[in-house]
Chains A and B, each alone.
Chain A
Amino acid sequence: MFKKTLIGATAICLALASANAMADTKDKKIALSNNYAGNSWRQAMLKSWDKVTKQAVADGVVAAADPFTTSENQVTEQAAQIQNLILQGYNAIVVNAASPDALNGVIKQACDAGIVVVSFDGIVTEPCAWRVAVDFKAMGKSEIEYLKENMKDGGNLLEIRGLAGVSVDDAIHSGIEEGVKENSQFKIVGSVHGDWAQDVAQKAVAGILPSLPEVKAVVTQGGDGYGAAQAFKAAGRPTPLIIMGNREDELKWWKEQKDANGYRTMSVSIAPGVSTLAFWVAQMILDGQQVPKDLTVPFLRIDQDNLEKSLETTEKGGVANTEYSLEDAKKVVAGAK
């Protein structure tokens, strides 16, 4: 008798538990703390967040998923913003951080208040937070590996770096550097900072180009390929192989060259929709699932044969994007275990 009751009670408990697991996060609130919105990549990132999280709220997966962006891209401002989010009672904060370590204090405060913190793109080093990171070093190295395959004789390279002092710039650069070290047929003859912006890259390349010998290829970090192409054209030099960074104007330029003379290159960057991956990761953690602290996002690569398809799905003047689903997030989590 007692045994039967126990089994019955256990069954009821299990049933309740599974029902809870299904709807565990429906009254949870998630906030996005974003440090910057002043370029097309960030705009696409916010748009993806909006699209995916609105649907999630409508479906009753979570109660709220509000985005907040600071105006000045400053650590102090973002720290104050996160403090406000803690006071407002959010259950999870998804953060694209202005600095990898300067926000650690306030991130720790959030953790201590029982809030789940998931950082992505601009990740934080505070151990209590989760990190949805891109292996930027591998991304840089993949550019040299592509060149190795497609440019058997090697040659001179021009490197366009990003924003000086940002960790992402150092990571991509170190990958490129390592690739060049392993492949001595390539030599970097010039290096400039393009700040991930076409007009800045154009200016920097136009300045250094007259002093350079023949350049066979340009390795980039994204958002700078079209500016480099413009600078080569203005200087009246033959167009080298320029690695692109998934911006629509870059892809369109590549398509024009491909149609005109069979131009070959590849394009690699991270999808702005990575914000939605971070959202689902936060949702999974709130749901009580085991998620390792360090996750790696695959980068979005476009090659000669899927160029047309990518161009079709990319918004005019925007950046190639992909939004992630809960299933994608589960796959990334499973891959990290």
Chain B
Amino acid sequence: MNATMLRKLHQTPWIWSFVGAVAVWLATIAFTEGQGAGAIVTAALSFACFTVIVGTGQMLVITTGPGNVDLSIPATITLCGTVAMKVMNEQDSLLILGIVAALAAGAVVGALNYGLIRFLRIPPIIATLSMSFLVQSSAIAYNRGLRIKPPPALDAFTTGDTFGVPWIAILTVLFSVVVGIIVGRSYYGRAISAIGQNSRAAWLANIPVERFRFLTYVASAMLSAICGILLAGFSGGPALDMGSEYLLGSIAVVVIGGTSVAGGRASVPGIWGAALFMFLLVTMLNTFGASAGIRLVATGLIIIAVIAIAGGERESR
């Protein structure tokens, strides 16, 4: 019985991110003597959503194989959040139009990313990074950093909750379940894992490798667009630097969550655990009153520790 449970733990590296999240949460409320235990979870659920959404896109990209990564996520968040708010123009009636415009902008960025990688043969890390400069510059030129308020309906939706559970968290959990099914059961999900493990073998097995890679980069950029819309609604308007913390954030949650950095194996639940963990970790250190220096060092060390523990299991396979 115990042996099978242990083996199960071995095969589910994502469990560690949840263990970490619960541990830091307990440490925080032990420090505050139970005060605010529930409210901290509510805040964590809200803020984790944004990381989960872009982290999912990043996970799909990373799963398609070594070297694949999307560094244009922060710029795309900024551009699409700005496009959405500008098109919506603070009016509920233009809500749908704004969402469509932002998603379209995201799709274009994703397609261009893929174009650079496939047709100009630029490595993804360089292609998406240079794309992010173009996208960020477009966002600056488009609105010069002026802050446009979200329409009331979007504001109400993104900040609303029922019994302490934020609505966007409910929606994001549903989204994660759907992605989990797609990754685990659908042809597309199995195909990107196969491509990530060995793209030549996948190609020989008649998998449309390039079409799926194209779809993956477009999906990642469109998820950045969704994140941009929600974040702009949540924080009262877009800002030019609104995406900056999601560059490292999106990659960190994928890695901590147990997705293989070398590609070929995705882990959807791990992203949630890791996103909650990252938020609660900063909250814990803030609550302890740690200085910025200590906070950054501790964050780095703890992330390394979690990856080492989770990664150690993988070596034994």
Contacts and interface: CB of A to CB of B under 8 A. Distances in A.
Interface string A188-212: 0011110101111011101111111
A318 B239 CA distance: 11
B140 A198 contact: no
Interface residues of A, number: 43
Nearest to A43: B145
B286 A192 contact: yes
Interface string B268-303: 000000000001101100110100110110000000
A204 B39 contact: no
Contact of B239 (A198, A230, A248): A198
Contacts of A207: 40, 43-44, 47, 279-280, 282-283, 286
Given A161-B292, A198-B236, A208 B283 contact: yes
Nearest to B160: A234
A164 interface: yes
Given A38-B241, A235-B39, A226 B140 contact: no
B296 A211 contact: no
Given A317-B146, A317-B147, A210 B36 contact: yes
A230 B234 CA distance: 9
Contact of A40 (B29, B145, B295): B145
Given A209-B39, A211-B35, A230-B236, A204 B146 contact: no
- Sorting the interface of chain B by its residue count into under 10, 10 to 19, 20 to 34 or 35 or more gives 35 or more
B236 A249 contact: yes
A267 to B, nearest CB: 16
A235 B293 CA distance: 28
28 contacts: A38-B241, A39-B145, A39-B240, A40-B146, A40-B239, A43-B140, A43-B146, A44-B145, A161-B292, A164-B292, A191-B289, A195-B241, A198-B236, A203-B47, A206-B43, A207-B40, A207-B47, A207-B280, A210-B32, A210-B36, A210-B38, A211-B29, A211-B283, A230-B235, A235-B43, A248-B147, A249-B147, A249-B236
Given A39-B241, A210-B40, A227-B236, 13 more contacts: A40-B240, A43-B146, A164-B296, A190-B286, A190-B289, A197-B239, A207-B43, A211-B28, A211-B31, A211-B35, A211-B40, A249-B149, A318-B147
